[in-house]
Chain A
């Protein structure tokens, strides 16, 4: 990894995160409570809603958030754990699942591509924020491997394979199984600068195309797991045909990446009583609300961006509930505070 492109990349990344030296958008107290609740001293992010396991997705979120919170020591902790405990795969990506009570701790050596993308993205952000080339040097092989081995073509679109094993097509059914919430839109420009051989922009566009195809379905939303066919979209075989905790990240990612707000419409429309819900995509019926504050902020933010005024006061600071809700909330608060502070201002105060 030659120094020149890396430095170029770091310079460009500065714009995404914020000018060097600017105060982080994540408050010290709320970051401290997040760390206390969800990050262990050995550097693992603890999924409190999932038996206390750790996974590559959590590590990726943790790395990104610690850069956004300008907490380099915690970043180092997280990266040390990630590298020594999860990066045992031959292809250099992370084994996705780590359990505290198992021996060995890694209980599934398959990768989870969204986790790998988040880890690589966190490393790129860190390299730019703290002027450290070693981080980007560590990210580059991961990004190259993802680009060359985990992107496939489905119904003519370049899509992300959720894992190296088990999601590609079979003899019986050649259509790969996809997860629309694995499209972390803000990473594609960064990946493209580091590895321009791969059409990352095309991958991003394919994600939006998937959302467009979903509009034609009864619920207007994509299921958490889908397959593409003949210009359309169907819920994936062997998965529940539901939009839920996976898909709820899609509007968050769209907002953070500054994608045209028109893409938010189906999500905004499906939210009732200020909360998104789990939806049966076949019938279009809501199943149950996804109610923790972190999730409700997503719906409230969409409403604010559509002109409905600021988000409710109680959603403007971190609620330390579950790892997942708290993580999504921090990511969205970071974005709103930097790019849409009016959504957090006035109205019913804290």
Chain B
């Protein structure tokens, strides 16, 4: 693993909903160019943790630091404005607009009109979305819409990418392409990927962080985690 500097860090990050501690004093570090997967059973706090990173939730206690900037309590657009590409769990796209315009809007946030046109075409080609270029995104299949959203993330050329379940609801073939794309994105950007699909994680990740009951249970390679007894107990939901 390349160890540059820490690009994203949380310091005793906690998110409470009433009496429920969805995220409980999490210290987490992501290094430059790293690709980290967050796993854990349902309700482990991955998605809440993710939303704290992206500014969609304001943590109860603790801080999120992205490249020395404190972002806890900032608006999502401020987090994204640091050059962070974000994809949420459900496909969050502009349903009434065309594929091209979805990607164009993402690009245009960062570039002038001419550069945007070029980058948009390039992204559409790279993600093989040419067929749906002029189709309304709302009329596309679930997997295709996921891809449009990935296209929006890629088009902005972020240096840090946060993906929440990028392969959810995709067909086998689409999942393969997504894994491929994630590896490509990782060449230029540090990444955090929240995922359920173990096989998918095995194919993309080097290091995995396992969440359980709002805390980090363990970190390590997928192999190490899958051999670990505690991890298996967590997933099977019993203490054998």
A interacts with B: no
